[in-house]
């Protein structure tokens, strides 16, 4: 700054007073402060992560324009004070550059507002050309200023004067400001409230500083006010944490929500492509978080490259989303082909070869989906794997994905509000001719979706991990019922609970169960745990530890749905199952075919010779009951006795049945 003072000290009229940079006519202290702040703004912005969006590019244009305007204002003021004929060309150039930049600033700001409202996606390039037309006309006229003096001129004494159409600059700026205010207020629902207020404050300070400078020409405060407000935009609207995912460098979920709201409210048609990396969690566990950060960043940057588009978003949980609108819509099929081909091949990242299982879904908005909630449900829904590495979903599969997400939300609501219900299906003891136990079955009746079949929601719960909480809910309810309702008094010896594969992945499951039993003062013999044949065989090593620990605690086990899996007799006698439950399909086939009866008869004989108890599921008629009894089975379960019913009905049924038999 000292060298700056020395350099201009030779010019007449330059003085230094009380630490302020003051000319005879102009106080450039505010301009110098603005230049410093403008430089800081540019440096912070440039050294942040790479910017892809139209919003970022316009902000950068605004910051550069203000830097040029401020610098030109300083040199223009100093050169005007110098009144040196030898520097007249540079004096005119500096002032011309200042006025060009000053006129451009409101045009850029109006475009910035249009981007924040999302309207720029709706309008074509012709609209933006027309938006800048007033400035282009001014620019052409300004280029003639050295010859015409339309905007400013210097008299024979090298004194600065405004030209005949100088006020046209302010009139044009006023039009842009009015347009900006209109768009901010008219489309305020598309801009977060805080941002809209900040934009209006920006305009207010610009207008106030302009009036101050107009009535006090020696106070060059306008540039300082504009740059200060631009710095405020940098640390709020342009803050990376508010716009970008810190890992991948592309726009984050919040920006996707904002842009989607803008597009929907502006009634635009566009496409959304959702890319789900289904096995990302597996690689995260095996390679570590830092390695996966680099991998996800590389994928994100590749998506930006193939779309040549600013609408690439990281919506969390390894979900990337593309928004396609305008001319790029015609390249949708080409982009989908790129995606399928790339994710069908391996990725080489840091000398690691990775194979990603991916689900890709293309959605027309608003044709396929017209509500934000439905779109977000589709993005957040659990992905569906296929035989191929890449699962490209068809349009007719969207309803399945949406239904799946709706069921996930219903599960979450039921867990939070404790509205799952436990039904009980009685089990008949063929030897004692009484109801001696029951199978506890979970039921979900949602306020929005109504009754949801366990066959639908249980696989979904196993996928997203909710089955663990559901299983504990059932266990708790069964223990509470056994303790409070004194089931032994009505002939019920124990209750059966299905054990999920996912539950058995938790090593602390035995401790959780035992703590629950202790709370209700029940022995483990009050509960019989069921595991399916396919689950047990497919997870021998994992299952064995948990099952052995539960068995050591005193729990007994049943093998459920025998005959639907591998029907591995070796597995039956190698495990200590108390009861083998033969699937209903075998019984129903045995009624129709002699060959099936032979299979059933030999299956029962084999299990009996292994000293296991036998339960036949799906008994619905008297003929089936007699067949089961004649085969020598121990227990029956099915609609012939009772369908699954709520606790109160089950208790009444047991009392009536066991009293009458």
Closest of 374, 353, 460 to residue 415, by C-alpha: 460
Note whether residue 280 is domain-resident.
yes
Task: Output the pLDDT for position 134.
Answer: 93
DSSP symbol at 383 = P
Contact by Cβ (8 Å): 72, 105? no
At a CB cut-off of 8 Å and minimum separation 6, what does 152 contact? 95, 99, 145, 160, 161, 162, 163, 166
For a pLDDT cut of 90, what percent of the chain falls above it? 44
DSSP symbol at 217 = T
Q: Are residues 433 and 386 in the same domain?
A: no
Q: Are residues 285 and 220 in the same domain?
A: no
Structural domain of 356: 244-393
- Distance, in Å, from the CA atom of 624 to the CA atom of 618, rounded to the nearest integer, reads 9
Note whether residue 399 is domain-resident.
no
Task: Output the pLDDT for position 192.
Answer: 76
Task: Output the pLDDT for position 18.
Answer: 32
pLDDT band at 8 (very low <50, low <70, confident <90, very high): very low
Angle between the N-to-C axes of helices 222-235 and 193-215, in degrees from 0 to 180, rounded to the nearest 10: 170
CA distances from 381 to 261, 318, 351, 575 (A): 20, 12, 32, 38
pLDDT > 50? residue 279:
yes
Task: Output the pLDDT for position 19.
Answer: 35
Task: Output the pLDDT for position 539.
Answer: 54
Q: Are residues 209 and 277 in the same domain?
A: no
pLDDT band at 568 (very low <50, low <70, confident <90, very high): low
The model's pLDDT over 459-482, given as tens digits with 9 standing for 90+, comes to: 888 878 899 999 999 999 999 998
Contact by Cβ (8 Å): 434, 658? yes
Backbone angles phi, psi at 519, to 5 degrees: -60, -35
Note whether residue 410 is domain-resident.
no
Q: Are residues 433 and 579 in the same domain?
A: yes
- Distance, in Å, from the CA atom of 614 to the CA atom of 566, rounded to the nearest integer, reads 18
Peptide bond into 366 cis (omega under 30): yes
Q: Are residues 381 and 456 in the same domain?
A: no
- This prediction's pTM: 0.55
Of 180, 214, 241, the last residue of a domain is: 241
Note whether residue 404 is domain-resident.
no
Q: What is the β-pairing status of strands 319-324 and 312-314? A: antiparallel
Of 358, 393, 428, the last residue of a domain is: 393
Q: Are residues 315 and 440 in the same domain?
A: no
Within 13 Å and on the Cβ side, how many CA atoms surround 297?
Answer: 16
| Mean pLDDT of the region 543-553 | 85
The model's pLDDT over 400-436, given as tens digits with 9 standing for 90+, comes to: 777 888 898 899 999 999 999 999 999 999 999 999 9
Q: Are residues 210 and 257 in the same domain?
A: no
Closest of 92, 132, 86 to residue 112, by C-alpha: 132
In the block, residue with structure tokens 């029940």:
522
Task: Output the pLDDT for position 614.
Answer: 93
- Distance, in Å, from the CA atom of 366 to the CA atom of 378, rounded to the nearest integer, reads 14
Note whether residue 408 is domain-resident.
no
CA distances from 378 to 358, 374, 375, 385, 461 (A): 15, 6, 5, 15, 17
Angle between the N-to-C axes of helices 594-609 and 622-631, in degrees from 0 to 180, rounded to the nearest 10: 50
pLDDT > 50? residue 85:
yes
pLDDT > 80? residue 399:
no
pLDDT band at 569 (very low <50, low <70, confident <90, very high): low
Domain harbouring 297, CATH code = 3.30.70.270
Q: Are residues 231 and 255 in the same domain?
A: no
Q: Are residues 442 and 368 in the same domain?
A: no
pLDDT band at 540 (very low <50, low <70, confident <90, very high): low
- Distance, in Å, from the CA atom of 228 to the CA atom of 202, rounded to the nearest integer, reads 9
Note whether residue 405 is domain-resident.
no
pLDDT band at 125 (very low <50, low <70, confident <90, very high): low
Q: Are residues 266 and 349 in the same domain?
A: yes
Domain harbouring 154, CATH code = 1.20.1070.10
Of 226, 241, 256, the last residue of a domain is: 241
At a CB cut-off of 8 Å and minimum separation 6, what does 507 contact? 545, 546
Note whether residue 406 is domain-resident.
no
Contact by Cβ (8 Å): 356, 389? yes
C-alpha distance across the termini of the chain, in Å: 106
Structural domains counted in the chain: 3
- Distance, in Å, from the CA atom of 447 to the CA atom of 143, rounded to the nearest integer, reads 70
Note whether residue 481 is domain-resident.
yes
Q: Are residues 108 and 78 in the same domain?
A: yes
At a CB cut-off of 8 Å and minimum separation 6, what does 53 contact? 115, 243, 251, 310, 311
Domain harbouring 617, CATH code = 3.20.20.450
Contact by Cβ (8 Å): 58, 115? yes
Check residues 262 and 639 and name the one with the higher pLDDT: 639
Lowest mean pLDDT among 33-47, 268-282, 284-298, 409-423: 284-298
Q: Are residues 385 and 474 in the same domain?
A: no
Q: DSSP states of 30-74 as a string?
A: HHHHHHHHHHHHHHHHHHSSPP-SHHHHHHHHHHHHHHHHHHHHH
Q: What token pair was written down for 337?
A: 């082909």
CA distances from 382 to 279, 285, 460 (A): 12, 19, 8
């Amino acid at each position: 700054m000292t060298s700056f003072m020395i350099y201009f000290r030779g010019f007449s009229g330059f003085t230094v007073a009380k630490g302020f940079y003051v000319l005879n006519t102009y106080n450039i202290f505010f301009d110098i402060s603005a230049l410093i702040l403008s430089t800081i703004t540019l440096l912070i912005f440039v050294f942040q992560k790479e910017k892809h969006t139209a919003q970022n590019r316009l902000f950068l244009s605004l910051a550069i324009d203000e830097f040029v305007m401020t610098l030109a204002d300083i040199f223009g003021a100093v050169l005007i004070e110098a009144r040196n004929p030898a520097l007249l060309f540079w004096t005119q150039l500096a002032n011309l550059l200042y006025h060009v930049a000053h006129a451009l600033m409101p045009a850029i700001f109006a475009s910035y507002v249009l981007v924040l409202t999302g309207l720029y996606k709706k309008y074509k390039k012709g609209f933006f050309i027309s938006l800048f037309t007033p400035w282009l006309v001014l620019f052409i006229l300004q280029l003639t200023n050295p010859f015409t003096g339309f905007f400013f001129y210097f008299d024979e004494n090298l004194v600065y004067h405004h030209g005949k159409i100088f006020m046209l600059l302010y009139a044009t700026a006023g039009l842009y400001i009015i347009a900006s205010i209109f768009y901010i207020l008219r489309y305020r629902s598309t801009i977060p409230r805080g941002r809209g207020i900040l934009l209006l404050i920006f305009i207010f300070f610009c207008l106030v500083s302009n009036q101050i400078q107009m009535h006090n020409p020696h106070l060059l405060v306008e540039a300082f006010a504009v740059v200060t407000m631009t710095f405020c935009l940098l640390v709020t609207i342009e803050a990376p944490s508010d716009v970008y995912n810190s890992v991948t460098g592309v726009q984050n979920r919040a920006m996707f929500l904002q842009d989607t709201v803008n597009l929907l409210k502006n009634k635009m048609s566009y496409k959304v492509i959702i890319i789900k990396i289904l096995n990302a969690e597996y690689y995260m566990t095996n390679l570590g978080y830092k390695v996966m950060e680099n991998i996800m960043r590389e994928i994100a940057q590749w998506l930006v490259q193939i779309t040549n588009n600013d609408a690439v978003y990281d919506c969390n949980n390894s979900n990337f989303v593309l928004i396609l609108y305008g001319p790029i819509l015609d390249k949708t099929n080409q982009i989908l082909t790129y995606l399928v081909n790339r994710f069908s091949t391996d990725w080489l990242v840091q000398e690691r070869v990775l194979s990603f299982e991916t689900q890709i879904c293309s959605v027309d908005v608003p044709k396929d989906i017209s509500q934000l909630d439905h779109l977000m449900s589709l993005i957040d829904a659990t992905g569906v794997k296929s035989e191929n590495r890449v699962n490209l979903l068809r349009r007719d599969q969207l309803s399945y994905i949406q239904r799946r997400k709706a069921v996930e939300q219903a599960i979450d609501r039921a867990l939070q509000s404790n509205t799952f219900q436990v039904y009980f299906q009685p089990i008949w003891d063929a030897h004692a001719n009484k109801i001696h136990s029951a199978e506890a079955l979970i039921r979900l009746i949602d306020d929005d979706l109504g009754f949801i079949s366990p066959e639908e929601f249980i696989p979904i719960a196993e996928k997203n991990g909710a089955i663990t909480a559901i299983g504990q809910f059932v266990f708790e309810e069964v223990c509470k019922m056994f303790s409070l309702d004194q089931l032994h008094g009505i002939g019920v010896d124990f209750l059966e609970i299905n054990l999920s594969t996912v539950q058995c992945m938790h090593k602390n499951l035995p401790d959780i169960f035992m703590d629950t039993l202790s709370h209700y003062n029940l022995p483990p013999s009050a509960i019989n745990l069921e595991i399916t044949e396919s689950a047990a065989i497919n997870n021998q090593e994992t299952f064995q530890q948990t099952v052995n620990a539960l068995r050591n605690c005193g729990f007994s086990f049943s093998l459920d749905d025998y005959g639907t899996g591998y029907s591995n007799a070796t597995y039956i006698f190698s495990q200590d199952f108390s009861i083998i439950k033969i699937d209903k399909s075998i019984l129903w086939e045995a009624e129709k075919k002699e060959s099936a009866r032979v299979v059933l008869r030999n299956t029962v004989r084999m299990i009996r010779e292994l000293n296991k108890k036998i339960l036949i599921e799906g008994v619905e008629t008297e003929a089936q009951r007699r067949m089961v009894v004649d085969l020598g089975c121990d227990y029956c379960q099915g609609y012939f006795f009772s369908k699954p019913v709520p606790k109160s009905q089950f208790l009444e049924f047991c009392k009536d049945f066991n009293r009458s038999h």
